[in-house]
Structure 1
């Protein structure tokens, strides 16, 4: 704590202490490091003291390169960035990175893991907490970075249920939305990703008004996360999680089967978001029954809902 900052107090303090240690080892003054990273010396002072604005990802990369840190500062940066989020949000992001399966119901927008960069930019450009263009770029970088896990060796199983409203709201304009719908169709072709659509004609349901995520972890435990426009809640109590898990199962059962869901996405995309035909409930039940029989699944209940197959939770 030579500079009077305890690195254990926050990730920003730890980041600053590492910058100071590396700078000192390199024999550089704060002004010299500022010149090499194209910022004023007072900005280096703020970083080392964990005061002022948090470093951007671009600055973390510049510092890493200037100090020969071998990606240490770049790898620390996401943790520094997360400190700007509420505690429940940080916990959710940390658990998402360790989840073996992720089940999401999206009420308003495509989930971040499946967003195109253009769509994500449009979504992140609105909101009460956005303060600058630099912050927008940081958030966009983090969101796109989270998607890398879907292509990794430890990728999770992802099962997404989209409310029909998600398909019909042309976020970013029709060109951006078309690209996003194409992305959904391409993602659904991956063996570890399933996409369903919950049509308007299903009426009311338990998750109206917000989105719901169920995370299954490697130790067999589950957590739930609910989110609205300006709030989020992480649920860890097993009894409450089970209630939300059953809600999610009902949403999957009420949604169009995967193949019909893809047909609807294509119809919305090709029809410029107008006039996509939703199959009747009896037709949906018939096709779902055929798909279940082909895959060895269970029969449907008399009420028309699909009985979710047991196995790894999405």
Structure 2
């Protein structure tokens, strides 16, 4: 993609009758930087430089639209491929153990997360990474948005990433997102004990053709799983996490409690109490009986033993 980007810049530059030095003057970089871009050597262009080149060469957003693909090449193959799958998925199911998933992060929270755990050479690179993450969220507002189901470990709420102000804003974002028709948020409380995905995160993607892909990730690694048998195993693991989590309505109550800084005195209800309270909430809202993990069961159908 960097080579394609460079070839487009060169073609547009020649068509505009500009030398590399003249183009460099227009976008405020030295001519050798233009040489590097055209040859796909050296550092990849920044988003701002891609935008400046687009304007200077009258590219009608061609270079701006190519830039995310160029920048994505900086990620490992498995991470890049996962992002490509995610952009086409019709259902995204995620479990997060430590931080809010990228699709639901606020800009300030994303900046705090991306500032640590990665080696970024400049503040500019950090802002580019934040912009790229925010850009991926835009799909949630489109007509072909995926169904998003997120299970958050209780630790995600308790850790004030970026400080109390940033965290409060982030919790508000979760509450707002959960009100959207295609987004469900659940909390997995500490008292559920050990489970199969401790220490990492899990995402299961459903593609337009019905096939599924799984992705696991830790602090410094990730693994894309495409083998159907393995994916089915991870999908089952996710369903177990979803069933063990608080129902959606109770999960939102817990988020509000933490947001109001009352969580130290909040007692997580027992499993039987959760089901009773959840049933009351569903009855008040006109819903059906509750099934494991907070899913509703149509009236008149048995939910099993």
Q: Please, what TM-score do these two structures have when normalized by structure 2?
A: 0.93
Counterpart residue number, 2:301:
none
The answer on whether the counterparts of 1:249 and 1:308 sit within 8 Å (CA) in structure 2 is no
Aligned length: 295
197, 203, 206: which one aligns with 1:213: 203
- In structure 2, list runs of 5 or more residues that go unmatched: 298-305
Distance (whole Å) between structure 2 residues aligned to residue 126 and residue 249 of structure 1: 31
The answer on whether the counterparts of 1:288 and 1:306 sit within 8 Å (CA) in structure 2 is no
- Does residue 47 of structure 1 match 2:34? no
Tell me the CA shift for residue 271 of structure 1: 1.3
- In structure 1, list runs of 5 or more residues that go unmatched: 1-10
The answer on whether the counterparts of 1:235 and 1:241 sit within 8 Å (CA) in structure 2 is yes
Tell me the CA shift for residue 73 of structure 1: 0.4
Counterpart residue number, 1:222:
212
Tell me the CA shift for residue 281 of structure 1: 1.4
Distance (whole Å) between structure 1 residues aligned to residue 99 and residue 229 of structure 2: 28
Counterparts in 2 of 1:307 and 1:122: CA distance versus 1, 3 Å:
closer
Q: Report Cα offsets for 1:86-112 as digits up to 9, x if no partner.
A: 111111000000000100000000000
Distance (whole Å) between structure 1 residues aligned to residue 243 and residue 135 of structure 2: 31
- Does residue 28 of structure 1 match 2:42? no
Indicate the SS of the match to 2:52. helix
- Does residue 170 of structure 1 match 2:170? no
The answer on whether the counterparts of 1:106 and 1:166 sit within 8 Å (CA) in structure 2 is yes
- Does residue 110 of structure 1 match 2:100? yes
- Does residue 85 of structure 1 match 2:105? no
Indicate the SS of the match to 1:274. helix
Counterpart residue number, 1:153:
143
The answer on whether the counterparts of 2:95 and 2:150 sit within 8 Å (CA) in structure 1 is yes
Counterpart residue number, 2:65:
75
- Does residue 237 of structure 1 match 2:201? no
Distance (whole Å) between structure 2 residues aligned to residue 309 and residue 252 of structure 1: 13
Counterparts in 2 of 1:72 and 1:286: CA distance versus 1, 3 Å:
same
Distance (whole Å) between structure 1 residues aligned to residue 215 and residue 265 of structure 2: 33
Tell me the CA shift for residue 296 of structure 1: 3.9
RMSD (CA atoms): 1.7
Tell me the CA shift for residue 131 of structure 1: 2.4
Tell me the CA shift for residue 135 of structure 1: 1.4
Indicate the SS of the match to 1:172. coil
